Structure 1
Amino acid sequence: MNINLLAENLTNPALLFFILGIVAVYLKSDLAIPPNSSKFISLYLLFAIGFKGGQELSHEVFTLEILWAMLFGVGLALLIPLYVFFILRKKFNVYDSGAIAAAYGSVSAVTFVTAASYLELQGQQLTGHMVAIMALMESPAIIAGLILISIFSKEDSSVSKRSVIHHSLTNGSVLLILGSLIIGYLANAEQAQGIKPFTNDLFKGFLAIFLLDMGIVSGRKLGSLFRRGWFPFAIGIVVPLLNGVAVAFASQIVTHNMADRFIFAVLAASASYIAVPAAMKIAAPKANPGFYLPMALGVTFPLNITLGFPLYYLVAGL
């Protein structure tokens, strides 16, 4: 691995703010980001990346390559939960296995946003259609996880599958990033210039504060996961690294763009800790959020932004 690339990532201010949040928890500091402010910042990040992606997409010509890339992304979101589910069944019950598999098959919008910032540091440009692919990958994994639970559970679920599918497709993060993508696509260059200071200039500062908040949340949840043994940690480390490296290499069948291959790897390696918990709370209330939430947020998220990004970027360049 390129040592300079790793060192550059480990000294990224956004990452250091994330570590500061974890340190604050273990020092028992009262440092905290107000919930309303945290929600606003997360909405802002999704809006900004969606709008900028729409602007980039407006300069692209829809091609067969983009279509194949979209199908590739959806295919990953369906395949990953399938193989992860059967590995998890060795230690977890059906409900926990389905929920965790859905989390690792779905994507993390915040990891995606952080990866976009990482690309900029490397002098690479995020292509607009990758924003659309990220949004498309969020729901299929949730549906796949629910189907697996339905097939292997001996109990009938009283939850309406239609309502769950509707919820996964209209989830706030999906709706906002898709809506912003469309608005960014429709806006001309002069109109986009008017809000550029908000969508571009403030982005990295808001990202740093948001990662500080994520560090605080992660630090609070890691303790409960430690009490559950080594297996959740092994899954939270091995599965994303395996997915990320494999997809960084395999994505060359649909694109030779290094930035796109890196983003595909990040999407395959990330785990959802917003959309999946919201959906599973409705659809699979017997699944324990004490497993899938800290695994995604407390283990996989920091792993990706520290060691994962340089590794996936290196493989994508091969």
Structure 2
Amino acid sequence: MEQIIEIAYANLLSPMILFFLLGIIAVLVNSDLKVPTALYTGYTMIILFTIGIKGGVELRNVSFGEMIPTIIAAVFLSIIMLFISLLILYKVFKYSFVDSIAIAAHYGSVSAVTFIAGLAFLDKFGVEYESYMSAVLVIMEGPAIILAIIIYKLHVSKQGEKNTNPDASIKHVIKEAFFGKSIFLLLGGIFIGLVAHKDGLVKIQPLFGDLFYGILCVFLLHMGMVATISMNKMKNIKLVSFLFAFILPLIGGGIGVLTGSIIGLSVGGSTILAVLTGSASYIAAPAAIEQAIPKANSGLSLGSALGLTLPFNLILGIPLYFWLATLLG
């Protein structure tokens, strides 16, 4: 127990977490601090490209056969978290089926920011991990979103309702889930890192390498502000109704660590798989779900994923998953 407290304390004092907490404080004290939209868009692109490029470079030395068990596990975890989330939300927390499936889609998908924070955490402690985990991030983004919308459409059909929104078609949803901006930038980065000449990659190293963590800190400052604003909008909703935002990441993290251990991942790899499984999407999922499931309360999904689960994972979840991975490792 002392070990996990020490790990959590060390994580809490990392610059990234401190920037995130500073963003929370900025909103709580009504500071006039604002991040320009153009700047936010710019550093989001840099962050996603950087993840992809680093993953692509590492993939040069990995055979596809080596990745197969992890790929299968990643898809399995994404789908199982969708159903676990749906069951808990619908049966235990008594949300409507529509809201339950919409929220479950977010928790079946993954968070790139939590993933980056997990990598930074391992780098800080000098823990190695499998080089292809960026590809796993991409793989886990879409399956739960697609499956959730298919389940919703079956539900609507059974109820005799019609969804006349042209953007709610399966074709459009697949496009959003697999080729939305976050996925496209990650895939683009992986492709560039995989095929670009090494001397060319050296030339872009200052922006996509040395400056990356500084940019990430500013991004997390903004995320702290956005997360707090999201929670402030739901003051009339009882906190007990949002306990799932802490329960689901613990379940996902536990399953992720166990699965990583079973398929033979390193301690670092199991930690990252747990981080992904225990995270919740607030970029890819909202873009697809808002169009396909218009009757769902988007505030519930975004508020829980961004306002509660993201801070929980950044501050407590990642150290906890690492501690569990070391026990099983």
Which band: TM-score by shorter chain?
Answer: over 0.9
What is the CA-CA distance between 1:191 and the residue it aligns to? 2.6
1:128 is paired with a residue of what secondary structure?
coil
1:123 is paired with a residue of what secondary structure?
coil
1:50 is paired with a residue of what secondary structure?
helix
Bigger drift between 8-17 and 191-200 goes to: 191-200
Task: Give deviations 1:45-89, integer Å, cap 9, x for gaps.
Answer: 0011110111111122332x4111001101111111112112211
What is the CA-CA distance between 1:126 and the residue it aligns to? 4.5
Give the corresponding residue for 2:67: 66
Task: Give deviations 1:108-149, integer Å, cap 9, x for gaps.
Answer: 111111111111101124533211111011111101211222
Residue 270 of structure 1 is aligned with which of 279, 282, 290? Answer: 279
Asked if the contact 1:47–1:180 (Cα under 8 Å) also holds between the matched residues in 2, the reply is: yes
Whole-angstrom distance in 1 between the partners of 2:154 and 2:243:
26
Q: Which amino acid aligns with 1:60?
A: V
Give the corresponding residue for 2:162: 156
Asked if the contact 1:106–1:141 (Cα under 8 Å) also holds between the matched residues in 2, the reply is: yes
Q: Which runs of no fewer than 5 residues in structure 2 stay unpaired? A: none
TM-score with structure 1 setting the length: 0.96
Residue 130 of structure 1 is aligned with which of 130, 133, 137? Answer: 133
Asked if the contact 2:105–2:144 (Cα under 8 Å) also holds between the matched residues in 1, the reply is: yes
Give the corresponding residue for 1:79: 80
Whole-angstrom distance in 1 between the partners of 2:271 and 2:241:
26
Residue 217 of structure 2 is aligned with which of 194, 198, 208? Answer: 208
Asked if the contact 2:109–2:142 (Cα under 8 Å) also holds between the matched residues in 1, the reply is: yes
Task: Give deviations 1:195-221, integer Å, cap 9, x for gaps.
Answer: 222221101100110000001101111
Q: Which runs of no fewer than 5 residues in structure 1 stay unpaired? A: none
1:38 lines up with 2:40 in the alignment: yes
Asked if the contact 1:51–1:181 (Cα under 8 Å) also holds between the matched residues in 2, the reply is: yes
Asked if the contact 1:164–1:279 (Cα under 8 Å) also holds between the matched residues in 2, the reply is: yes
Whole-angstrom distance in 1 between the partners of 2:40 and 2:283:
13
Residue 300 of structure 2 is aligned with which of 281, 291, 296? Answer: 291
Give the corresponding residue for 1:13: 15
Whole-angstrom distance in 2 between the partners of 1:77 and 1:225:
28
TM-score with structure 2 setting the length: 0.92
Whole-angstrom distance in 2 between the partners of 1:186 and 1:232:
48
- State the number of aligned residues: 317
1:156 is paired with a residue of what secondary structure?
coil
1:116 lines up with 2:119 in the alignment: yes
1:93-104 map, 5 Å: 93-104=96-107
Whole-angstrom distance in 2 between the partners of 1:191 and 1:251:
35
Whole-angstrom distance in 1 between the partners of 2:192 and 2:128:
20
Asked if the contact 1:69–1:255 (Cα under 8 Å) also holds between the matched residues in 2, the reply is: no
Bigger drift between 178-187 and 250-259 goes to: 250-259
Inter-CA distance 232–171: structure 2 relative to 1 (3 Å threshold): farther
Whole-angstrom distance in 1 between the partners of 2:322 and 2:80:
22
Asked if the contact 1:54–1:128 (Cα under 8 Å) also holds between the matched residues in 2, the reply is: no
1:168 lines up with 2:177 in the alignment: yes
What is the CA-CA distance between 1:21 and the residue it aligns to? 0.7
1:51 lines up with 2:57 in the alignment: no
Whole-angstrom distance in 2 between the partners of 1:232 and 1:293:
14
1:140 lines up with 2:148 in the alignment: no
Asked if the contact 1:114–1:207 (Cα under 8 Å) also holds between the matched residues in 2, the reply is: no
Whole-angstrom distance in 2 between the partners of 1:188 and 1:125:
25
Asked if the contact 1:236–1:296 (Cα under 8 Å) also holds between the matched residues in 2, the reply is: yes
Whole-angstrom distance in 1 between the partners of 2:8 and 2:253:
16
After the TM superposition, which segments of 4 or more aligned residues of structure 1 sit over 6 Å from their partners? Answer: none
What is the CA-CA distance between 1:305 and the residue it aligns to? 0.7
Whole-angstrom distance in 2 between the partners of 1:226 and 1:114:
28
Whole-angstrom distance in 2 between the partners of 1:191 and 1:316:
37
Whole-angstrom distance in 1 between the partners of 2:146 and 2:189:
24
Asked if the contact 1:150–1:156 (Cα under 8 Å) also holds between the matched residues in 2, the reply is: no
